[in-house]
Amino acid sequence: MIPLFSTDQVREVDGYAINQLGIPGLVLMENAALQIFNFVNEKTLHLERRSKIGIVCGKGNNGGDGFAAARQFANNGFIVNVVYLGNEAEMSPDCLSNFKILNGIAVQNENLTLQKFESEKDLRYIAGSDIIIDAVLGSGGKGELKEPYKSIVKDLNKINAFKVAVDIPTGLNADTGWGDVVFKSDLTVTLGELKKGLFIGEGANCSGEIVKGNIGVSFNFFDKFEPAEYLIEPEDAYGFLPVKNKNANKYTAGKVLTIAGSGAFPGAASLTSRSSLKIGAGASVLCFPKSSRKYIYKRLSEVVVQPYNDEDNEILLEKNADELKKRIEWADVLAVGPGIGRDSRTQNAVIKILKTFPEKRIVLDADGIFAIGKGQYKELNLKNKILTPHHGEFANLLGIETAELEKDLLAYGKAFSTGTKSFLVLKGAPSIIFTPGGEALINTTGNPGMAKFGTGDVLTGVIAGLLSQQKEIEDAVICGVYLHSLAADLLLNDFTEFGYTAEDIIHNLPKAIKFLRKSFA
């Protein structure tokens, strides 16, 4: 896994380099400028030396990086226009040094101009640029942008150019991934180490391609930290694939019981129960309302269907928890929730199952999560449980607004998982796995085509199927989340993100496993 760091940790290493190792801040800034120059050149090979570079610089060290980078571009024949904020008296010492150097060069270099920002009209100096570089705030931004920064970012986002962020896109909180208005970059050259906020929330949406710039401090200096956030790598998923014993049979290869679907939503039950088989479980049994079984029989062949008596209500009832007791005890893993509906009787049935089988390994999704929402989960034992909500469902579970949740996904997710001793898979772009030990594991596969009905139901079945084949919950969750999205990514070889469905993801699961195995053969 790839570790991610907080801004405080990165600053601590910077401070150590300056104060203990004696590396001047200007040297670190110069190294940052070289990294920016080299990465921009590498990613924009089509640009000629006379191409136009527009750079917006702030008053702090991020602005200093921008001034130093402007010098590199100007000295190498690019046409560089710099718009800077603030007076010299407001600039940090190293920022001021690079500003003065650049200002002196501009007197003799006709390819370089500097314009102090007085109003939005001054952005016209960079409007025709081929490349726009944001060196305004960097990791210094925490809350909602104030003026004129908010208007500047909005205007920069409208310019048709290749956009580059220095360290952190302006407007993004580098620790939480939240931002009200954020510079939308095509490339982010993050300095020192990878910051966690770049990979979640608006960070994932606005950072573009993320590259790590070495500013002259060994990455070994970060070894003293114990990060709580990581990016999942392919080898992680590969290492957690279940091992199939040669003498396995359908009952020793994993038994999954799915309690899902209703008369109104039969499709979810079909997707979940079939996914568990397609990912390798030996036996998949679907429990479904007897009064609407005719809908589900048409959809399933390999899955065993056990109808339960619902008195023609077409929903799960509280008494069904007793009726299904033997089947629940038989199963290695339960998948509960997709398509069961939100009738109060169904909610009571879910709660009864959770209370009756507190040690059972259960993947709880969709309406199953709704049943314990608005804080009701606090009365339940969620150890050995995996919850797979999207942002809205998780906010309802906590009893807060979605907008409040998204201001700090990591904090809310960690607090929930450590407090309940459960595993939380917060579905989104990207999905984040929270462990009872307080770690956040960020998925690195997936594409926008997954934002469709049914993909979450498939994920529930995939995780349940993998968990039925192995002991460690964390291994199954990591492998399941990664493979589910990898199957969707591989579909882009034949489809666009518009043209595939949850059914296609199910059919592509074996290909995803084969692809992963071949990658490490």
Q: In CATH, what number is assigned to the domain containing residue 369?
A: 3.40.1190.20
Q: What is the dihedral of CA 264, 266, 272, 276, to 10 degrees?
A: 150
The tokens for 21 are 């190792």
Look up the pTM and report it.
Answer: 0.94
pLDDT reported for residue 245: 79
Q: What is the mean pLDDT of residues 110-130?
A: 93
Let me know: does 165 contact 179? Beta carbons within 8 Å.
no
User: Which of 227, 261, 285 is a domain's end point?
Assistant: 227
Which of 403, 351, 341 has its CA nearest to residue 378? 351
Same domain, 219 and 314: no
Same domain, 271 and 220: no
Asked if residue 218 has pLDDT above 90, the reply is no
AA identity, residue 104:
G
Same domain, 263 and 209: no
Same domain, 330 and 419: yes
Same domain, 267 and 222: no
Give Cα separations from 100 to 103, 161, 191, 358 (angstroms): 5, 28, 23, 67
Asked if residue 253 has pLDDT above 90, the reply is no
**Percentage of the chain modeled with pLDDT above 70:** 99
Residues composing the chain: 521
When mean pLDDT is compared across 157-171, 209-223, 280-294, the lowest value belongs to 209-223
Q: Answer whether the bond into residue 510 is a cis peptide, omega within 30°.
A: no
Same domain, 280 and 198: no
pLDDT reported for residue 429: 93
When mean pLDDT is compared across 124-128, 216-220, 357-361, the lowest value belongs to 216-220
Asked if residue 10 has pLDDT above 80, the reply is yes
Same domain, 211 and 260: no
Same domain, 223 and 248: no
Task: Output the average pLDDT for the chain.
Answer: 93
Place of tokens 């070994």: 220
Q: Tell me how far apart the alpha carbons of residues 459 and 443 are, in angstroms, rounded to a whole number.
A: 13
User: Which of 193, 227, 261 is a domain's end point?
Assistant: 227
Same domain, 257 and 111: no
Asked if residue 259 has pLDDT above 70, the reply is yes
Spatial CB neighbours of 35, under 8 Å, sequence gap ≥ 6: 189, 191, 213, 214, 215
pLDDT reported for residue 49: 67
Which of 292, 285, 343 has its CA nearest to residue 318? 343
Q: For the chain, how many structural domains are there in total?
A: 2
Please write the tens of the pLDDT for every residue from 339-352: 999 999 999 999 99
pLDDT reported for residue 92: 94
pLDDT reported for residue 12: 87
Same domain, 414 and 490: yes
Same domain, 199 and 342: no
Cite the DSSP H helix spans in 422-472.
Answer: 455-467
Please write the tens of the pLDDT for every residue from 280-306: 999 999 999 998 877 777 767 778 888
When mean pLDDT is compared across 23-37, 162-176, 212-226, 398-412, the lowest value belongs to 212-226
Q: What is the mean pLDDT of residues 114-119?
A: 94
Please write the tens of the pLDDT for every residue from 83-110: 999 999 999 999 999 999 999 999 889 8
pLDDT reported for residue 214: 86
Within 13 A of 319's CA, how many CA atoms are on the CB side?
A: 6
Domain range enclosing 135: 2-227
pLDDT reported for residue 74: 94
Let me know: does 227 contact 4? Beta carbons within 8 Å.
yes
Same domain, 295 and 222: no
Please write the tens of the pLDDT for every residue from 425-482: 999 999 999 999 999 999 999 999 999 999 999 999 999 999 999 999 999 999 999 9
**Percentage of the chain modeled with pLDDT above 90:** 80
pLDDT reported for residue 452: 94
Looking up residue 165, the CATH number of its domain turns out to be: 3.40.50.10260
Which of 73, 41, 39, 43 has its CA nearest to residue 55? 73
AA identity, residue 288:
F
User: Which of 227, 260, 282 is a domain's end point?
Assistant: 227
